[in-house]
Amino acid sequence: MHRTLAVTLLAGVAVAGLATPATAAAPVKKLLVVGMDGLNWDIAVAADAPNLDDLAAQGTLGRSLVQCPSVADSSSGPGWSNIATGVWPDRHGVKNNTFAGKQYATHPDFLTRLESANPALGTYSAVDWAVLHSQGTFSAAIDTRVTFDGDANGYAGEDAKITADAVSRLSSGGPDASFVYLGNTDVVAHSVGTGTAYRTAIAKQDQQLGQILGAVRNRATYANEDWLIMVTTDHGHRTPLGGHGGCGIDERGTFVLAAGAGITAGARPIDTRQVDVAATALQHFGVAPALDGVSVKTRSADPFDRLALRTRVDETGIPSTLAGWTPAAPSGWSVDRSRMPAGGMTEWRGWSFATDEFWSRAQSGQERENALRTRGVFAVADSDEYADKSGGTSFDSTLVSPAYPVTAGSVARVRYVTHYRQEGSQKADVLVSFNGGADQLVKRYSADARATVESLPVTVPAGATTMTVKFRYYDANNNWYWVIDDLRVS
Ligand SMILES: [Zn+2]
């Protein structure tokens, strides 16, 4: 595609809707995503991996946890599908490495979306886990797909071939947007665990990353280009024995590393998620489909994400050093615990605020791990965990928002992320109050609503100037839970 580069660029800018001065050319948008299979970030930090270290210093590193059963395995099919499509498994349909149920026609990979938005863009993907091409995770619409077969020939050698191919293509001219996959780290961890050999495999892969980045930075045209570089992984690995697919924290651990213009150096946001890779890639070219992901350049406005977090009190299965919860609401918010009994687990006495890791570790295998559309810190009312200490019955607590300004006679929209599991007689009510008046029921949950983004219309009555939103979870006796995150009123 390099002979048509100038045309490509102008067309790319046109898609972005940006004005282009006729004389001063805007920097040429370029994208490189490097995927490293099964890379545990803690072990990468401990390994000899200077290129990953440099990128983490120059860029933004967001660590998070992926889904696990029953939604989908913490494995490569679902993980790379999250990364490629920017949506979670309940939308892209891939639940395991059979790829049965895939919905790639509806939810294509980011390179295919770039091709659709601007066919003049040069796109390239190189993989040695061949199914990523044969199953269409990265589709046939991509200009150049280079496939090696790590399963047949061994990943160490095929990763070297991928590196050579990428270096050759990226040294001059070459594609505008690339995905380069390296797989040996995962294979080594499966075969011998996450010890010395795994660290050696990470070091080798880091050298390959260095060669690819070197090819980019030595381009004659580099000074006139705007490169977005991302490195990511599909899932973690159990330490020290290796393996993944289930709900363990090590298995679910992933990261998104992004560097480039407009990306904060050294930032460690808690609200990044795996689906943000595709959204960040597309936003770089001015393409913005409705995805679960958001660009890493767009950070959270949710006050929950700025709370100071505490370590455990009564919980026993959570590491004592993990600061991941607080009972203290953000400024302007409150939690009504006046109808809560005195006993029960301290962490869950009424609405609390917790991270995915802290709450997941409270009790595994009960779908807490799959609150997929939450980010960072979220609010939790958990009658099941509350009942794990004596006195923890009759859960009844209300989470109260600030008073938002509203316009009388208009329809306000109450938008939030929720993850709700129904059992028994428990009730979950969304209420609103105008100017401090009587509560009005907007919605009552009587069935599961998992990993859901809600948008409820509320008519604002005459004379009203403010609206408060309340989430009351009650009549719950060792039943399930309710999660609320990222409330927005407009
Ligand atoms: Zn694996």
Residue 177: both structure tokens together? 């947007």
Which pair of structure tokens corresponds to residue 34?
A: 């490097």
Q: Determine the distance separating the centroid of ligand 1 and the alpha carbon of 276, expressed in angstroms.
A: 21
449 — pLDDT class (breaks 50, 70, 90) = very high
> Given CA atoms 406, 452, 230, 189 in this order, what sign does their dihedral have?
positive
Give the Å distance between the CA of 453 and the centre of ligand 1. Answer: 31
CATH of domain 2-284: 3.40.720.10
The Cα 467–Cα 404 span in angstroms is: 5
Ligand 1 centre to CA of 243 (Å) is 6
Which pLDDT does position 25 carry in this prediction? 81
Per-residue pLDDT band at 23 (split at 50, 70, 90):
low
Q: What pLDDT score does 22 carry?
A: 52
DSSP 241: T
List Cα–Cα distances, 366 to 32, 95, 345, 394, in angstroms. Answer: 37, 17, 18, 20
Q: Give distance in angstroms: CA of 400 to centre of ligand 1.
A: 43
**CA 316 – ligand 1 centroid, Å:** 30
In this structure, are residues 96 and 72 in contact, taking their beta carbons and an 8 Å threshold? yes
The mean per-residue pLDDT over the stretch 160-187 comes to: 98
Cα 183 to ligand 1 centre (Å): 9
DSSP state of 273: -
Residues within 5 Å of ion ligand 1 by Cβ? 38, 186
Helix (H) or strand (E) holding 46: helix 41-46
* pLDDT above 60: residue 69: yes
Model confidence at 439: pLDDT above 50 = yes
**Region 36-44: what's the mean pLDDT?**
97
If you compute the radius of gyration of the chain from its CA atoms, what whole number of angstroms results? 24
Q: Which parts of 347-484 fold into alpha helices (H)?
A: 356-362, 383-386
Q: What is the pLDDT of residues 102-153, one digit of tens each?
A: 999 999 999 999 999 999 999 999 999 999 999 999 999 999 999 999 999 9
Dump pLDDT digits (tens) for 341-379.
Answer: 999 999 999 999 999 999 999 999 999 999 999 999 999
Tokens of 467: 């609206």
Output helix, strand, coil percentages for the chain, rounded to the nearest 5. 30, 25, 45
176 Cβ partners below 8 Å, 6+ apart? 1, 8, 12, 28, 29, 30, 31, 114, 121, 122, 123
Here the tokens at position 420 are 């709700």
Q: Is 256 helix (H, G, I), strand (E, B) or coil?
A: strand
Q: How many angstroms does the Cα of residue 238 sit away from the middle of ligand 1?
A: 10
pLDDT, residue 51, reads: 98
Centre of ligand 1 from the C-alpha of residue 97, in Å: 10
| pLDDT above 70 coverage of the chain, percent | 95
Residue 10 pLDDT exceeds 80? no
Q: Report whether pLDDT(14) > 50.
A: no
d(CA 270, CA 27): 30
The pLDDT, as a whole number, for residue 17 is 46
CA of 245 to the centre of ligand 1 (A): 8
Residue 92 vs residue 25, higher pLDDT: 92
- Alpha carbon distances (Å) from 315 to 343, 346, 371, 479: 14, 8, 20, 18
Strand order in the sheet with 334-336: 334-336, 395-405, 466-476, 427-434, 440-445
Q: Which structure tokens are listed for 425?
A: 């007689």
Half-sphere exposure of 319 (CA within 13 A, CB side): 6
* H/E run at residue 276: helix 276-284
Q: How far apart are the first and last CA of the chain?
A: 45
Q: DSSP H helical segments within 26-118, as ranges?
A: 41-46, 50-58, 76-85, 89-92, 110-117
Into which CATH architecture does domain 303-489 fall? Answer: Sandwich (2.60)
Q: How far is the CA of 75 from the centre of ligand 1 (A)?
A: 6
Extents of the domains making up the chain: 2-284, 303-489
Strand partners, 418: 452, 484
Cα of 242 from ligand 1 centre, angstroms: 9
User: Which of these, 215, 212, 135, lies nearest to 179 by C-alpha position?
Assistant: 212
Separation of alpha carbons 265 and 259, rounded Å: 7
Residue 229 vs residue 7, higher pLDDT = 229
CA 237 – ligand 1 centroid, Å:
8
Gap from CA of 40 to ligand 1 centroid (Å): 12
Amino acid residing at 24? A
Q: Where are the alpha helices (DSSP H) in 146-270?
A: 150-153, 155-170, 184-192, 196-217, 249-252
**Strand ranges inside 313-410, DSSP E:** 325-326, 334-336, 352-355, 377-382, 395-405
d(CA 176, CA 13): 13
CA separation, residue 181 to residues 137, 239, 460 (Å): 12, 23, 52
C-alpha separations of 286 from 141, 282, 401 in Å: 19, 6, 34
* Tens digit of each residue's pLDDT (9 = 90 or more) over 264-314: 999 999 999 999 999 999 999 999 999 999 999 998 899 999 999 999 999
How crowded is the C-beta side of 16, counted as CA atoms within 13 Å? 19
Query: According to the model, what pLDDT value does residue 299 have?
Result: 82
Task: State the pLDDT confidence band at 206, using cuts at 50, 70 and 90.
Answer: very high
* pLDDT higher than 70, residue 11: no
What's the whole-number average pLDDT of the chain?
Answer: 95
**Spatial separation of the C-alpha atoms in residues 162 and 29, rounded to whole Å:** 23
Cα torsion 123, 136, 167, 278 to 10°: value is: 60
